[in-house]
Amino acid sequence: MTSERYRIVNDAHVYFVTYSIVEWLPVFVADEPCRVVTDSLTYCRQEKHLAVNSYVIMPTHMHAIVFDQEFDNDRLLATLKDFRKFTGRALTDYCSERRSPVFRETLTRAATQDRKRRFWQPSRHAEAILSANFWEQKLDYIHDNPCRKGLVFRPEHWRFSSAAFYLSDGEATFDVGIDPLDWT
């Protein structure tokens, strides 16, 4: 286990996670790096039993509500680790190839003894969701994030978000399949 304040524990199965880019680099300002994340979430849903209840990809970070399809927290932890590792490598390569050298230098400076570069900040901030009220609070937070930052006027206008799914009662097209939760 990690020494993080927020982490995946045995008595909870649904989590609000946050992944932030080192030094808050604005990497998610084009479709291609966002697609790395959405394609990886889709792969994890199809192949690793990840359930994605909601998500948003902001220019410098992402939030999601996730759980294992069979509520297996050990597998959820492994899946999220694999997701971070794969997307971190792919996005670091993207930055090295397609962004200013400052991005590559920043990612290299953030490296630790076990890696040459680091894309994601060390914490995943896995916060357990134990009630419908807390879930609704986190869901609203995720979907309102682009509006709070002044990027769009309406949550459903943000491309890389599950807001359109929820606001259209599941009718809107979206990049990642959404796994609903029933708190009743």
pLDDT single digits (tens) 20-61: 999 999 999 999 999 999 999 999 999 999 999 999 999 999
Torsion angle, alpha carbons of 46, 119, 66, 123, to 10: 150
**Taking 50 as the threshold, does the pLDDT of residue 1 lie above it?**
no
The answer to whether position 122 is within a domain reads yes
**Taking 50 as the threshold, does the pLDDT of residue 150 lie above it?**
yes
DSSP state of 160: S
pLDDT > 70: what percent of the chain? 93
Number of domains in the chain: 1
The answer to whether position 151 is within a domain reads yes
> What CATH number does residue 19 fall under?
3.30.70.1290
Tokens of residue 107, six digits: 């990612």
The answer to whether position 8 is within a domain reads no
The answer to whether position 7 is within a domain reads no
The answer to whether position 116 is within a domain reads yes
Give the pTM: 0.92
The answer to whether position 48 is within a domain reads yes
* Residues contacting residue 93 through CB under 8 Å, at least 6 positions apart: none
The answer to whether position 34 is within a domain reads yes
What CA–CA distance (Å, rounded) separates 169 from 81?
Answer: 31
The answer to whether the beta carbons of residues 60 and 95 sit under 8 Å apart is no
Residue 90: domain span? 14-167
Predicted local distance difference test score (pLDDT) of residue 5:
56
